[in-house]
Structure 1
């Protein structure tokens, strides 16, 4: 019977994710690092399968180089969600080639410290990703507000996985020193499954939206709530007027950076004002407007729910249903039926706004 290592199965699943991402990107993806990340993870899974499934030691140098590339691409992918600059215009981009070039040099001329170099690279990028995650969802200013919570959860998982990889490499080194690597195959297999989880999250960021129920981003300014200043209140009021007058929430590609530009203010200042005055993240703030508009259309028209979803500014059905449930406590179809049955749709919308 032909033996098919688990990493080969993981590689096939990653290729499926990659194909889905390419189809959904429509050639307009402004953050190609996510596509590159999934591609390299698929290749790494094949290399790991060859190494541990068939005991081919010759692929070890390739595995080491790909590991460093993965850590680098993970950072570049999520760091790119902070700014709308295209990759070619991002400062210090070429500096991120140095870890890979350094490991290639070590593999070729001085293999002894390769493992230590990989551990240091993963630890460094893990810390950087963790700091970005600590800033909260609103730090991902160029991510669509329709799916920014998914992006943030993916960032948290990736930060944990990259940081854990450094720890895993240390454990494997100890295992080789103590028992000749008798447990390393199992450790690598578990780590590869974790990689699939990370890539599933990355695929969510790049194309599929799978929002979470709650957003804990208000903790950005610390655990204790901070009272809004007069400036915060003024910014929040100006944002309310802008949202109502220009109906910006209808833009499915709306993000924090774009919103801040329309106000002529730094994105962080807008985020802090919304956090303090509204006691919610910018993504929840905008989605509240979208849900109110959806409620109005559900009550006043007989249009299909899907059409209303797009008109209100949502791009995915899963996010629409999740946010609608968060705001109203029921599904869109149930809300429409309730509004029609009670014949008090106007009063219902007023309650939502309050």
Structure 2
């Protein structure tokens, strides 16, 4: 019987995700950095299978170097969803290219430190990734507003997956210390199947949040100001009067440019006055329009979804239930008799 390592199965699943992302790129605006991340996870899965499944000697030197590329690429990928002004420039950006260089030196000269270095690297970057999303979905101003919550969840899961990979690296280190590496192959395979696959999956989800060619709200500030009211009124007029909510590629960054108001001020005004994040606020408007279409027209649920600015059924159904506590079909069934009686 031909032996197929679990990591090869993970690699196949990641390749399928990558192909799906590439095919959908024209309509979803797949982010290139996230696509590279999925590809790197797939490649790393293959190398892990070659090392621990088929004991290919060369793979033991390549695997830690590839692994050291993952955390910086995770951080860079999610940073592309931040406001341009928040991105690092100059020397700090190039410092993130050092981990594979340092790891290559460790592999050549002090291989005993490989696992320790990987643990420190993965945990450190996991903290950095979580720090990016500390303000909730509104921090991801370059993400489509209907996907900002999903992208933020993907960010958190990616950080957890980095920590999980560090935990498994610790397990491999202890396996060599306690049992001379007898269990290392099993631990490494499981680490690959779980850690790399989850990183690749979250990269796939987050890539679809990028517009084609942002759970929790930011912490509220003490009290709304008159400026907050003016900003919210201006945003409300733009969204409703200009039907800007129908733009399925709308991001907080684009909304800020159209309104001529900094994204942080819009986010703060919505948080303080509406008690929710920008994504939820705009989705409330979209759901209100969808309800009108479902009540007053014979338009199908899918057509109402698209006409109100949603791109996927999963986002539409989730937001519809959040606002109305019902599915679109159930809401239409309950609202139409009432409308008929009013007439």
Aligned equivalents of 1:77, 1:281: Cα separation in 2: 22
Give the equivalent residue in structure 2 for 1:103: 103
Cα displacement string for residues 332-353 of structure 1 (whole angstroms, at most 9, x for unaligned residues):
2222222322225999xxxxxx
Give the equivalent residue in structure 1 for 2:80: 80
SS at match of 2:237: helix
Give the equivalent residue in structure 2 for 1:71: 71
Aligned-residue offset at 1:110: 4.5
Unaligned runs of 5+ in 1: 210-214, 348-354
Given that residues 133 and 159 in structure 1 are in contact (C-alpha distance below 8 angstroms), is that contact kept between their aligned partners in structure 2? no
Aligned-residue offset at 1:22: 0.4
Give the equivalent residue in structure 1 for 2:225: 229
Aligned equivalents of 2:123, 2:39: Cα separation in 1: 22
- Choose the corresponding residue for 1:263, options 253, 259, 268: 259
Given that residues 7 and 189 in structure 1 are in contact (C-alpha distance below 8 angstroms), is that contact kept between their aligned partners in structure 2? yes
Correspondence 1:204 to 2:205: yes
Aligned-residue offset at 1:2: 0.9
Aligned equivalents of 1:327, 1:99: Cα separation in 2: 45
Aligned equivalents of 1:109, 1:346: Cα separation in 2: 81
The 1:343–1:28 alpha-carbon spacing in structure 2 relative to 1, beyond 3 Å, is: closer
Aligned equivalents of 1:247, 1:128: Cα separation in 2: 37
Aligned equivalents of 1:40, 1:342: Cα separation in 2: 55
Aligned equivalents of 1:32, 1:75: Cα separation in 2: 14
Given that residues 38 and 199 in structure 1 are in contact (C-alpha distance below 8 angstroms), is that contact kept between their aligned partners in structure 2? yes
Give the equivalent residue in structure 1 for 2:153: 153
Give the equivalent residue in structure 1 for 2:9: 9
Aligned equivalents of 1:27, 1:321: Cα separation in 2: 20
Give the equivalent residue in structure 2 for 1:252: 248
Aligned equivalents of 1:300, 1:28: Cα separation in 2: 30
Correspondence 1:178 to 2:178: yes
Aligned equivalents of 1:113, 1:246: Cα separation in 2: 59
Aligned equivalents of 2:309, 2:277: Cα separation in 1: 17
Aligned-residue offset at 1:28: 7.7
Give the equivalent residue in structure 2 for 1:352: none
Aligned-residue offset at 1:95: 3.4
Aligned residues between the structures:
336
Aligned equivalents of 1:180, 1:112: Cα separation in 2: 14
Given that residues 31 and 208 in structure 2 are in contact (C-alpha distance below 8 angstroms), is that contact kept between their aligned partners in structure 1? no
SS at match of 1:227: coil
Cα displacement string for residues 167-196 of structure 1 (whole angstroms, at most 9, x for unaligned residues):
332332222122212232232222223221
Greater relative contact order: 1 or 2 (C-alpha under 8 angstroms, separation 6 or more)? 2
Aligned equivalents of 1:19, 1:277: Cα separation in 2: 43
Aligned-residue offset at 1:309: 1.3
The 1:105–1:29 alpha-carbon spacing in structure 2 relative to 1, beyond 3 Å, is: farther
Aligned-residue offset at 1:112: 4.1
Given that residues 21 and 30 in structure 2 are in contact (C-alpha distance below 8 angstroms), is that contact kept between their aligned partners in structure 1? no
Unaligned runs of 5+ in 2: none
Given that residues 24 and 30 in structure 2 are in contact (C-alpha distance below 8 angstroms), is that contact kept between their aligned partners in structure 1? no
The 1:28–1:204 alpha-carbon spacing in structure 2 relative to 1, beyond 3 Å, is: closer
Per mean C-alpha deviation after superposition, the further-off stretch among 94-103 and 267-276 is 94-103
Given that residues 321 and 331 in structure 1 are in contact (C-alpha distance below 8 angstroms), is that contact kept between their aligned partners in structure 2? yes
RMSD: 2.6
SS at match of 2:24: helix
The 1:303–1:342 alpha-carbon spacing in structure 2 relative to 1, beyond 3 Å, is: same
The 1:302–1:110 alpha-carbon spacing in structure 2 relative to 1, beyond 3 Å, is: same
Given that residues 130 and 159 in structure 1 are in contact (C-alpha distance below 8 angstroms), is that contact kept between their aligned partners in structure 2? yes
Given that residues 232 and 277 in structure 1 are in contact (C-alpha distance below 8 angstroms), is that contact kept between their aligned partners in structure 2? yes
